[in-house]
């Protein structure tokens, strides 16, 4: 298995620049997910790694070897596509064996690799069937089997679960995570689904309009989003973003006045803001609680899910606000509610959408 380094990758299609100076160092055996909205360039980046698309500039290094100009088959990668691309007239066995037949591998070695892959993917009793006799999830496993037998240095997945229904996607997420553990392989996985990214990745690359917004572990992105874009993309329900004004700054942080007049002293650095500037304060729905003082919310819609009550309403001059409260919380549609929020659970974004860095916690004095 291998490291994968992308050094200053740029890509243009004619006059349209779709990837801007992308540099990433992916570790050996890491499961890295590229996530972002439609058109942000994630498939193009994956195809450049695979050699199916040529970068306009930049370098791709796999396991220490520069493969930027190597043919796809010589890169030591294997790619699994959204459309399984199976041969309908061949059995499951022959579909999995296909790349090895192309390599003219001897039949004993070929059989041992196919049987091993089928065992890992629980397809051993399906090897004689044709793809048409399998479920969607089983077909996707055959496509993955065809990748495994080649013993690639790096596995690439391009939205492999998007043709499956919601329940099966959940099962396959778990299977892919197990597969990653079993194979101890470097994997790069493209999706627009933040739940897939959060649940499977060791680290996530959030792409926005061809640029890396942030590269970090799921919990780093959740707790310390670097930008408003990452903050609103990661986490379900989405983070609330409340228009606010800087009411004052000092060494200990920034005083903000939120839409609706509630003031909070937040322990963030004021490096890019001054008194009077407009900012946005991000608060996750799950980071509020019922309280006596804080945000006054007028409740419009209540969704009782059992364990949680998702509460939709407005604050101030109509800013929408969502709160995830306990399942049996005494809330009613059409009523007002006061929510308290801890300062350390607030994120402040400047006019460019960049987060104001948190102040280091003060040293404990004995
Ligand atoms: N062959 C091509 N010729 C011209 N433009 C292209 C080509 N392939 C992709 N693009 C453009 O590059 C941008 C990035 O496309 P890409 O498919 O990488 O996005 P994506 O993030 O994978 O989106 P999706 O989730 O919808 O697949 C888009 O604006 C797309 O229109």
pLDDT per residue as tens digits for the range 121-133: 889 999 999 999 9
| The two three-digit tokens of residue 227, written as one number | 């930008």
Using CA atoms, how far apart are residues 223 and 217, in angstroms rounded to an integer?
Answer: 10
- With a 6 A CB cut-off, is 192 part of the ligand 1 pocket? yes
- With a 6 A CB cut-off, is 37 part of the ligand 1 pocket? no
Beta strands in the chain (DSSP E): 4-13, 16-26, 31-35, 57-62, 65-66, 77-80, 154-158, 186-191, 203-208, 211-216, 240-250, 253-258, 263-266, 278-283, 288-304, 308-315, 319-326, 336-341, 346-349
Do 287 and 144 have their domain in common? no
- Residue whose CA is at the smallest distance from ligand 1 atom 30: 39
Question: How close are the terminal C-alpha atoms of the chain, in Å?
Answer: 49
pLDDT at 1: 59
Mean pLDDT of 169-196: 89
Using CA atoms, how far apart are residues 40 and 11, in angstroms rounded to an integer?
Answer: 12
Our mutation pick for probing the ligand 1 site, out of 13, 158, 160, counting the most ligand atoms within 8 A of Cβ, is 13
Residue 365: inside a domain? no
pLDDT at 266: 94
Strand order in the sheet with 288-304: 319-326, 308-315, 288-304, 336-341
Q: Which atom of ligand 1 is nearest to the CA of 44?
A: 18
pLDDT at 365: 46
Do 312 and 272 have their domain in common? yes
Q: Residue 105: which CATH number?
A: 3.40.50.300
Residue 363: inside a domain? no
Share of the chain above pLDDT 90, in %: 76
Do 102 and 153 have their domain in common? yes
Render the burial of 66-104: b for 16+ CB within 10 Å, e for the rest. Answer: ebbeeeeeebbbbbbebebebeeeebbbebbbbbbeeee
| The two three-digit tokens of residue 109, written as one number | 């070695």
Do 221 and 266 have their domain in common? no
- Residue whose CA is at the smallest distance from ligand 1 atom 25: 38
Q: Which atom of ligand 1 is nearest to the CA of 36?
A: 21
Our mutation pick for probing the ligand 1 site, out of 11, 19, 22, 39, counting the most ligand atoms within 8 A of Cβ, is 39
| Residue 41 alpha carbon to ligand 1 centre in Å | 6
Q: Which atom of ligand 1 is nearest to the CA of 11?
A: 12
Do 220 and 244 have their domain in common? no
Kindly report the average pLDDT of the chain as a whole number: 92
Residue 357: inside a domain? no
pLDDT at 362: 52
Mean pLDDT of 62-79: 92
CB 349 within 8 A of CB 356: yes
- With a 6 A CB cut-off, is 11 part of the ligand 1 pocket? no
pLDDT at 68: 95
- Residue whose CA is at the smallest distance from ligand 1 atom 6: 13
13: burial class by Cβ within 10 Å (0-12, 13-18, 19+)? exposed
pLDDT at 360: 67
Kindly report, residue by residue over 9-67, the tens digit of the pLDDT. Answer: 999 999 999 999 999 999 999 999 999 999 999 999 999 999 999 999 999 999 999 99
Q: Cis link prior to 237 (omega < 30° from 0)?
A: yes
pLDDT for residue 182 is more than 90: no
**DSSP-derived secondary structure letter, 97:** H
Do 205 and 314 have their domain in common? no
pLDDT for residue 342 is more than 60: yes
Do 15 and 43 have their domain in common? yes
Residue 129: closest CA among 120, 139, 137, 114: 139
SS3 280: strand
Do 180 and 266 have their domain in common? no
Strand-pairing partners, residue 205, are: 34, 215
What is the complex's ipTM, to 2 decimals?
0.96
Kindly report, residue by residue over 212-231, the tens digit of the pLDDT. Answer: 999 999 999 999 999 999 99
- Residue whose CA is at the smallest distance from ligand 1 atom 29: 39
Domain count, the chain: 2
Do 53 and 82 have their domain in common? yes
């Amino acid at each position: 298995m291998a490291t994968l380094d992308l050094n200053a990758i740029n890509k243009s299609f004619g006059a349209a620049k779709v990837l801007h100076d992308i540099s990433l160092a992916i570790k050996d055996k890491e499961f890295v997910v590229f996530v972002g909205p439609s058109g942000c360039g994630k498939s193009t980046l994956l195809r450049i790694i695979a050699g199916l698309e040529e970068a306009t500039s930049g370098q791709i290094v796999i396991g220490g070897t520069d493969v930027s100009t190597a043919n796809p088959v010589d890169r030591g990668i294997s790619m699994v596509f959204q459309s399984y691309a199976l041969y309908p007239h061949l059995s499951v066995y022959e579909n999995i064996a296909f790349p090895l037949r192309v390599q003219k591998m001897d039949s004993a070695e070929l059989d041992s690799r196919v049987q091993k892959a089928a065992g890992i993917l629980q397809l051993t009793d399906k090897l004689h069937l044709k793809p048409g006799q399998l479920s969607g999830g089983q077909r996707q496993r055959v496509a993955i089997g065809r990748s495994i037998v080649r013993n690639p240095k790096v596995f690439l997945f391009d939205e492999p679960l998007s043709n499956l229904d919601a329940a099966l996607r959940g099962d396959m997420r778990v299977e892919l995570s197990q597969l990653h553990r079993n194979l101890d392989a470097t994997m790069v996985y493209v999706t627009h689904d933040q739940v897939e990214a959060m649940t499977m990745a060791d680290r996530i690359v959030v792409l926005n309009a061809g640029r890396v917004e942030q590269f970090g572990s799921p919990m780093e992105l959740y707790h310390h989003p670097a930008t408003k874009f990452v903050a609103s993309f990661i986490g379900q329900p989405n983070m609330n973003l409340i228009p606010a004004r800087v009411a004052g700054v000092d060494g200990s942080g920034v005083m903000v006045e939120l839409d609706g007049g509630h003031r909070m002293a937040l322990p963030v650095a004021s490096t890019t803001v001054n008194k009077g500037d407009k900012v946005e304060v991000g608060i996750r729905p799950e980071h509020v609680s019922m309280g006596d003082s804080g945000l006054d919310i007028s409740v419009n819609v209540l969704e009782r899910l059992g364990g949680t009550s998702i509460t939709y309403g407005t604050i101030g001059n109509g800013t929408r606000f969502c709160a995830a409260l306990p399942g049996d919380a005494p809330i009613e549609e059409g009523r007002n509610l006061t929510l308290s929020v801890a300062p350390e659970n607030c994120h402040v974004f400047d006019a460019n959408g960049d987060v104001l860095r948190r102040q280091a916690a003060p040293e404990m004095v004995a």
